[in-house]
Chains A and B, each alone.
Chain A
Amino acid sequence: MSAMAASRGRLAALAERAGHDSPLALARAHSVYAAFAVLIVIDLLFTPGFRNVFVIRNLLFAAAPVILVTLGQSLTIGTRGIDLSVGSAMGLAAAVMALALAGGAWLAVAAGVGAGLAVGLINGGLVAALDINPLISSLALLVAARGTAEALLDGSRVSLPEGGLFDVLGIGAVSVIPIVAIIAVIVAGLVAVMVRTTVFGRSLLFIGANKAAAILAGIKVRRTLLLVYAASGLLAGLAGVFAAARLGASDPNYIGVNYELDAIAASVIGGTPLSGGRVSILGGVAGVLLLQVLGASFIMNDINFSYAQILKALFIVAALYLQRAGG
């Protein structure tokens, strides 16, 4: 009886300790939300026109595809990998979608998403089956997928038909919130639940924390890695469809360019360490919004947009420094 009480007391003490992390760990875990909140307050006070609903709607339209690729990126980083191909996979998805327009909007969208998935499967195959460094496999795909997208459309922009599905994705909104943003948030929720509760989610974190131990523990490492990169490609495909619908055209030279960098930056700022084993989906979404609002604030204050880029770089270094200090 008393032994049970003692063990319960010990459990309570443990739980309490877990709840009261060091201030530095707290700062690390919540810095992205704090920074986002501060930025919003500053913008509401000082940035002319920031309260305008059109501004918010445009921001969310721009954020939706970045959120999708950041989700995939966070998963690959969680396995201690990286996916540089997501921007080019977006471009390829948009290009394939443009070619499949004859079959109707739904088929075209499916073909685009399928193209993204194909890039992810190739990448996952190279990483999982052949043990190739994900940095270099996805770098090769970054170059090759962009080249394929440009070759498919001969480098020119193809307009998407107006009306129907493309209008729903490109301009559709429920009051202020674009439909694509709602979809992105739902997908983010699903991914977050998956990481927390499923065997697949636990496995990918295990692999990121210690691959050798994961193999010894009987985790299906190859299959998990293949699925993670396939998911990243699939999400990039969807992001490419969203971006093209917003633009009203498929442009192989424009869609998705440098998105991989934004996705990595948002993941890291959001608290997903490059060393693997931990993923913060909510943080990643906040990271995307932070970077988007940051860019918009500079433009709306008539400050050279390039300063936003410099500030972005400083944010990344600061986030990284906090992670390092937290262990």
Chain B
Amino acid sequence: MSAAVLAAPSAERRARMIALIQSRGAIGVLALAAIIASLRFPYFATANNFENIGTAASFLGLVAIGQTFVIILGGFDLSVGSLIGLGSVLAAYSVPYGWLPALLVPALAGCGIGLIDGLLIARAGMAPFIVTLAALLGVRGLALVLARNSMVIAQPGIFGLIANGQILGINNLIWILLIGFALAALVLNRTRFGVAVFAIGGNEEAARMLGVPVIRVKVITYMLSGTLAGLAGALLGAHLSSGLATAGQGEELKSIAAAVIGGVLLTGGVGTMAGALSGVLLLGLIQNVIDQIGNLSSYYQNLASGVFLLLAVLVQTVLTRRRA
């Protein structure tokens, strides 16, 4: 009997330990990878290189915020990559009317697509996977039609400064990435909306019975994801000073990968913004390191990312089973 009493807390401690690895493991791996990379490559740990990684990760980062909300809700958003393309094209068209429309029009367009997705998923009860897959195809088509299959050249001005300027010596895009994630973590953990997202992802039926406005929360979550993707597209347009209808292809999958690597469970109801940010940065770090290994073909980047994602999922699966 005393053995059983003693065993109970240790089992509980083990479960807590595993939960900690699941939610914070990616941060540890990121730190470890960064240390190894800085020992191995002299150029890696320079301010210049960190800026490169951060800037390149910012577009994926914004999208990953929305994707994380959607996955915790128990869904997917495959439309975000195409929305980056649409966003950059719309930004290029709107920039003659000022920098504000150039940011707002893409964000609103993304919001609108998210609204349609959300209504079809939450109200009509269609599978998120296929609804957002249709949006992926349709939005890309729309972007190509609007850009007439070619590049739209934007006049940057203040708009370009938003994406390429600096505040306190740090690139604006990195500020946007960090502030975006901080705000998202606040919303996810400290607001009623965040609690509702977790509740629906954990057990939708129970959430409904507890009085959570399931349909409204779902629609808002998809609108949020769409808005962020449109905004990411606008920033990409500002960064490249052009609207590229084909921009953002594959980002939807990368953002899901980043979230999963960061410990966001595809079954819904579990995940952290810090984890998702670690996933985004890890993917960026892999790309950066492979770029620095001069004789290694850049094609190995996809291979490495894919294997890395698999390993992350394997570890997650094993840990989840241990915990149960």
Contacts and interface: CB of A to CB of B under 8 A. Distances in A.
Interface in A298-327: 304-310, 312-314, 316-317, 320-321, 324
Nearest to A143: B306
A165 to B, nearest CB: 28
Given A147-B303, A151-B299, A304-B144, A132 B314 contact: yes
B297 A154 contact: yes
Interface in B284-324: 297, 299-307, 309-310, 313-314, 317
A317 B302 contact: no
A145 interface: yes
A133 interface: yes
Contacts of B303: 143-144, 147-148, 151
B130 interface: yes
A306 B145 contact: yes
Nearest to B320: A131
B138 A313 contact: yes
Contacts of A132: 313-314, 317
B266 A274 contact: no
A146 interface: yes
A324 B297 contact: no
Interface in A117-170: 126, 130-133, 135-137, 139-148, 150-151, 154-155
B266 A264 contact: no
Contacts of B314: 130, 132
Interface in A259-310: 261, 264-265, 268, 274-275, 304-310
A82 interface: yes
Contact of A147 (B76, B124, B300, B310): B300
A320 B131 contact: yes
A310 B137 CA distance: 7
A316 B130 contact: yes
A313 B132 CA distance: 10
Contacts of B317: 130-132
Contacts of A82: 129
B102 interface: no
Interface centre among B266, B301, B309, by most chain A C-beta atoms within 10 angstroms, is B309
A151 B305 CA distance: 13
A136 B304 contact: no
B112 interface: no
Given A141-B306, A309-B144, A261 B136 contact: yes
Contacts of A317: 120, 126, 131, 134
Contacts of A313: 134-139, 141
A143 B135 contact: no
B260 interface: yes
A142 B306 contact: yes
B199 interface: no
Interface in B16-34: none
Interface residues of B, number: 45
B253 interface: yes
Contacts of A154: 297, 299
Contact of B257 (A143, A148, A309): A143
B149 A306 contact: yes
Contact of B266 (A135, A150, A304): A135
Interface majority SS on A: helix, strand, loop or mixed? helix
Interface string B78-110: 000000000000000000000000000000000
A137 B313 contact: yes
Nearest to B321: A131
B223 interface: no
A309 B256 CA distance: 24
A321 B126 CA distance: 7
A296 B301 CA distance: 35
Contacts of B125: 324
A134 B76 CA distance: 14
A130 B207 CA distance: 30
Nearest to B307: A144
B120 A306 contact: no
Interface centre among A135, A144, A264, by most chain B C-beta atoms within 10 angstroms, is A144
B239 interface: no
B126 to A, nearest CB: 5
B305 A143 contact: yes
Interface string B133-155: 11111111111110011000000
Contact of B310 (A126, A264, A268, A275): A126
Contacts of B140: 306, 309
Interface string B186-221: 000000000000000000000000000000000000
B35 interface: no
B137 A304 contact: no
A130 B318 CA distance: 9
27 contacts: A84-B253, A130-B317, A139-B309, A141-B306, A145-B306, A147-B299, A147-B301, A147-B305, A154-B299, A264-B133, A305-B144, A306-B149, A307-B145, A309-B140, A312-B134, A312-B138, A312-B141, A313-B137, A313-B141, A314-B138, A316-B137, A317-B120, A320-B127, A320-B134, A321-B124, A324-B124, A324-B126
Given A145-B306, A261-B133, A274-B130, 15 more contacts: A84-B253, A131-B317, A135-B266, A143-B309, A144-B302, A147-B299, A147-B301, A155-B297, A274-B127, A307-B145, A312-B134, A313-B139, A316-B130, A317-B126, A324-B126
The 5 closest A-B pairs by CB, nearest first: A144-B306, A147-B302, A313-B138, A309-B141, A147-B303
Interface of A: 82, 84, 126, 130-133, 135-137, 139-148, 150-151, 154-155, 252, 261, 264-265, 268, 274-275, 304-310, 312-314, 316-317, 320-321, 324
